Amino acid sequence: MEACGAVGSANNPYKGGAPAINDLLGGQIPMSFNNGPESVGQLQAGTVRALAVTTGSRAPFLPDVPSMSETVPGYDTEVWWGLIGPGGMPADLVAKISHDFVAAVNTEAVKERLGKLGAIPIGSTPETFVAKIRADYDKWGPIIKAAGMKAE
């Protein structure tokens, strides 16, 4: 339940997980791909059932749910969130914000809360995060271009 998207009409794509979950609960669609934090409440309530996670391995908050990669080797469409600022920020400011953000993400309270929501806190360096963004761009960029997708 990590990739955001849903089974629906090509003429009426979903603009986020909440509308997809609403239609799933209402029976308008038979299944949906949603990320953990927006699905965990429904999973805990038993109103939806996780069939698989789309990360490369099982999710800690759903240990009994298989990963798609267990059936389709190499399948991994993890979702991540990060803190991004405007280009040209002074290096000392980037370092300070990064340090404070990593410190906050690594507190037990934040790790516990994010874990309950199905998110796995990392708290990497700005350089590691840039490398992740570039790797995802290299992975998904050709697919996005071939499909003619545009940001809205």
CA dihedral for 81, 49, 140, 147, sign (positive or negative): negative
Q: Is the pTM of this model over 0.85?
A: no
Q: What is the pLDDT along the chain (152 residues), one digit of tens a residue?
A: 333 333 444 445 678 888 989 999 999 999 988 888 888 889 889 999 999 999 889 988 889 999 999 999 989 888 888 899 999 999 999 999 999 999 999 999 999 988 888 788 888 899 999 999 999 999 999 999 999 988 77
Separation CA 21–CA 42 (nearest Å): 9
> Residue 69: which of 85, 58, 84 has the closest Cα?
58
